[in-house]
Amino acid sequence: MSIFDPEAFMSATTTDANDTTVAPVPPGDYQAQIEKIEFKSFTGKNGEDRHAMDVTYDILDQGVKDALGRDKVTARQTIWLDITSQGQIDTGKGKNVGLGKLRAAADLNKPGEPFSLAMLTGRIVRVTTGLRADKNDPSIQYTDVKTVGLAA
């Protein structure tokens, strides 16, 4: 049973201010655990179906957590997907290279061995993070995962 009481929450007062920005993860290489994978589909500019997966990584570096003053630090990567006409992951030449790199980083990209996307969750990898400016306000910086590799 949750201790959250919406009525009490609505009436509660505080003298503390809330943050209005989230400090990004400093650019660098970090051990990270794949926390979750979410999919999104939409219609592209030319009317074609487009598909992507967002991978959320839990940054395991305690120094980063301490520097940012947070118990949990995450970073996200969007991987565009090539899907066959049957709705499956395309494993053809030059297809799903981003997914292939993620699978290799998680040690799950071996020919002949069974694989499902669900197997990625919980795996430890190395991520390289960088910064991306907000398109409407360049003073706001977001953390992006630029590359993934095998954990050291």
Give the global pTM. 0.88
Residue 48's pLDDT band (cuts 50, 70, 90)? confident
pLDDT tens across 119-131, in order?
Answer: 999 999 999 999 9
Per-residue pLDDT at 152 exceeds 80: no
Question: Domain extents for the chain?
Answer: 20-150
The CATH classification number of 20-150 equals: 2.40.50
Q: What is the DSSP letter of 87?
A: S
What pLDDT does 20 receive? 85
pLDDT tens across 59-80, in order?
Answer: 999 999 999 999 999 999 999 9
The residues near 89 (Cβ < 8 Å, ≥ 6 apart) are 81, 82, 83, 96, 99, 117
pLDDT tens across 92-108, in order?
Answer: 999 999 999 999 999 99
CA distance 25 to 65: 9
Residue 100 CB burial class (10 angstroms; 0-12, 13-18, ≥19):
middle
Give me the amino acid identity at 20. Answer: T
Q: What is the DSSP letter of 47?
A: S
CA distance 119 to 130: 26
Nearest to 109 by CA among 127, 89, 129: 89
What pLDDT does 135 receive? 95
